[in-house]
Structure 1
Amino acid sequence: MDLLIFIGILFLVIVILSLGWRFASQRRSLPCPVWMKWMLDPPFSWMSGRTKKTLKHLNLSSGMQVLDAGCGPGRLSIPMAKLIGPFGIVTAMDIQEGMLEEVKKRAEKDGDGNILYLQGGIGEGKLEPERYDRIVMITVLGEIPDRKKAMKEIYGALKSGGLLLIEETIRDPHFQRVKAVRDLANETGFVEKVWDGSRFNYTILFEKP
């Protein structure tokens, strides 16, 4: 009985802390804390239908250069690294060192040696120009203080004909509406290629002309 009480209290504390983060995130651009990585990547969803659908949209091929911007614990970084093979490179980028350490740990366990790690925020000038064939941003855009600056850097980092995939879900406290994302992308110079989902959970694929 004591164990059940302890588990109940622990669960309550986690819920309160999670709600606290969500509340604070709606007032500031706070990334998901490392200790909450299980919310981003539950153990049972390593290759969930959602992940497979995202990978299908990207149409990855051997030798590509891919940026996982705001990679979190690596839900996409690692499967993308497998799909592009040893001659391609995935750059896992996150503002939190703890998230990158989690990706490293998982990549080493899986034997993936084609992942580079870049700590920093999008828009800080850390991306090389004309380098990437694909860039993915999964529920990340709303966490960036200067979104216009970030999108310009992403645009510059893509090769001509390169694709940017943005996913948003209403479950995220930083949720960005479809119109806001489209307006920002169009202003930057992107051309929309694919839209999939609903206004509350969607994926948009943009191309750099």
Structure 2
Amino acid sequence: MVTRRTIRSLALAGALTAVAGVAYALRWRRNPSPCPYSQRVWIDLPRPVISRSGLCELLEPQPGERLLELGPGTGYYTGTVAEAVEPTGEVHAVDVQRPMVADLRTRLRERGDDNVVPIHGDGRALPYPDDSFDAAYLVLVLGEIPDPERALAELERVLKPGGRLVVGESLPDPHFVTRETLRERAEEQGFQFENDVGTRGSYFARMTVPPSNGD
């Protein structure tokens, strides 16, 4: 028999759990960091609004292009984009966590994807020369970087003139970046905002590097 005391205890326990969860999310938001490898199960869950097909529709990857993915994690989007640039294109997948890079490398090998280059690196100091890529994308990543402005500046640097950048964001990610904040930060780093798709709480946004003089 369930007593009133038991019900009150369960309710209190539930309330404390909720409060603890909110406190953890707020602390995580104040201290940007990537999703730990130990919690990678969460980044493999379906993403209905910021889907793989939705990313490709806005990014428009073309056969033969060289693309950059920042923060691929275990590769939720990587294989789909890599397939779109076949047979001669490639995707460089840069992640700051070595375990994520190793996991992605294993998954790619098992799937037979040979046009993806997993790289351990920091988005604030990308290991590439200027004008290295035709396009780049990052999903649920920008808010996890301690200096997002520096990361955007690096993306602008390694993209060719006219290069495309797609950023995906979605709640309830504690590091969620609003459209307005993203556009302001990106334009400060030299990007031209083009358009976005989705909802207020889950969207993809596309911007480009302005063509150089004479192009």
TM-score band by shorter chain is 0.7 to 0.9
Q: Does 1:117 align with 2:143?
A: no
Conserved 8 A contact 1:92-1:116: yes
Q: Which has the higher contact order (CA 8 A, sep 6+)?
A: 2
Conserved 8 A contact 2:61-2:84: yes
Q: Does 1:37 align with 2:40?
A: yes
Instruction: Output aligned runs, 1:138-149, within 5 Å.
Output: 138-149=139-150
Letter in 1 for 2:35: C
Q: Structure 1: any 5+ residue segments left out of the alignment?
A: 1-14
C-alpha distance in structure 1 between counterparts of 2:36 and 2:191, whole Å: 31
Instruction: Output aligned runs, 1:3-152, within 5 Å.
Output: 19=21, 22-42=25-45, 45=46, 50-152=51-153
C-alpha distance in structure 1 between counterparts of 2:142 and 2:102, whole Å: 22
Instruction: Output aligned runs, 1:123-202, within 5 Å.
Output: 123-202=124-203
Q: CA, structure 1 residues 46+78, in 2 after alignment: closer, same or farther (shift >3 Å)?
A: farther
Give SS of 2:32's match: coil
Conserved 8 A contact 1:127-1:153: no
Letter in 1 for 2:139: I
Conserved 8 A contact 2:138-2:166: yes
- Bigger Rg over Cα: 2
1:88-117 CA-partner distances (Å, limit 9, x unpaired)? 110111100111112111111111111112
Task: Work out the number of aligned pairs and report it.
Answer: 193
C-alpha distance in structure 2 between counterparts of 1:46 and 1:29, whole Å: 22
Give SS of 2:194's match: strand
Q: Sequence identity of aligned pairs in percent?
A: 28
**Please, what TM-score do these two structures have when normalized by structure 2?**
0.82
Conserved 8 A contact 2:95-2:122: yes
C-alpha distance in structure 2 between counterparts of 1:118 and 1:161, whole Å: 24
**Please, what TM-score do these two structures have when normalized by structure 1?**
0.84
Letter in 1 for 2:116: I
